Amino acid sequence: MKFFKFGLMVFALASTGPVLCADDAKCDGVCAASVSTCSVTAGMAKLPKIAYMVGNEALCCEESAKAAAVAAKTKLVYLVGIEKFDSSDKAFVSLVDQTEKFVTAFATPSTCKISGATTVAGETMTCTVRAGEVVSKVKKAMDSIAISYKVGEKSCSCPVEAKALAANKNVKTFFVVDQEETECELTARLNLARAKYKVALKAMVPEKTEAKVQ
């Protein structure tokens, strides 16, 4: 079983599905430890998460939730947003889907027909020039992140080439996002969405503090 780091809290899925681990909650580089004073950490905390429900109690650790479910003689329910699931696999698929939608919505400008204000990347503004600048900055940041492929000792950026190499060499393909490797395409999609969101958050850090958040 492999472990993959995504930042913030620990979300462990059942042994039959992908397993997610995490770094401690913190910004990269020099930044305040408190979520309330660190915009990147605060932003990452808003991403969809998996919670584990035992009765009316929500837990963030699957192992503790399993033990509690056994003790209470009740079923363990996996919760992603408002959606409930009876298995870790179903919950993980929903987590990937909801995360991708969350990140897409974050980067997509939305203009209020009444006020004319545009909201994008968590910022609401009435100036169309400023809105355009933010959209451009976020897009540039997100476009810098992509999935690459590692097949044996060979690395490439083309999925078709990766598939051909894997077939010829009869070896597995690893999906690589920001130096994070995984054999699971779903996990790679989650890595990609989270990585794109993180660089977008960093792009929105005020210029006077941007140099500190590297």
CB 60 within 8 A of CB 51: yes
C-alpha gyration radius of the chain: 19
Report the phi/psi class of residue 29: left, alpha or beta, with left for phi > 0 and alpha for psi in -120 to 50: left
Q: Which helix (H) or strand (E) holds 59?
A: strand 57-59
Res 3 pLDDT > 80 = no
Q: What is the 3-state secondary structure of 131-187?
A: HHHHHHHHHHHHHCCCCEEEECCEEECCHHHHHHHHHHHCCCEEEEECCEEECCHHH
Domain ranges of the chain: 4-107+144-210, 108-143
Q: What are the two backbone dihedrals, phi and then psi, of residue 190, each rounded to the nearest 5 degrees?
A: -65, -45
Higher pLDDT, 36 or 164: 164
Res 207 pLDDT > 90 = no
Q: What is the pLDDT of residue 106?
A: 96
Instruction: Compute the distance between CA of residue 150 and CA of residue 130 in angstroms, rounded to an integer.
Output: 40
CB 77 within 8 A of CB 94: no
Q: What is the pLDDT confidence band of residue 17, given thresholds at 50, 70 and 90? A: very low
CB atoms within 10 A of CB 132: 14
Q: What is the pLDDT confidence band of residue 158, given thresholds at 50, 70 and 90? A: very high
Neighbouring residues of 128: CB distance < 8 A, sequence distance ≥ 6: 118
Q: What percent of the chain has pLDDT over 70?
A: 79
pLDDT tens figures, 71-110: 999 999 999 999 999 999 999 999 999 999 999 999 999 9
Q: What is the pLDDT of residue 57?
A: 86
Q: What is the pLDDT of residue 60?
A: 82
Q: What is the pLDDT of residue 18?
A: 36
Q: What is the pLDDT of residue 23?
A: 33
pLDDT tens figures, 105-127: 999 999 999 999 999 999 999 99
The Cα-based distances of 122 to 72, 108, 203 in angstroms read 41, 10, 12
Instruction: Compute the distance between CA of residue 148 and CA of residue 165 in angstroms, rounded to an integer.
Output: 13
Q: Which helix (H) or strand (E) holds 95?
A: helix 88-107
End-to-end CA distance of the chain: 31
Q: What is the pLDDT confidence band of residue 11, given thresholds at 50, 70 and 90? A: very low
pLDDT, mean over the chain: 82
pLDDT tens figures, 25-38: 333 333 334 444 57
Please compute the mean of the pLDDT values over residues 145-166 and round it to a whole number.
94
Please compute the mean of the pLDDT values over residues 145-165 and round it to a whole number.
95
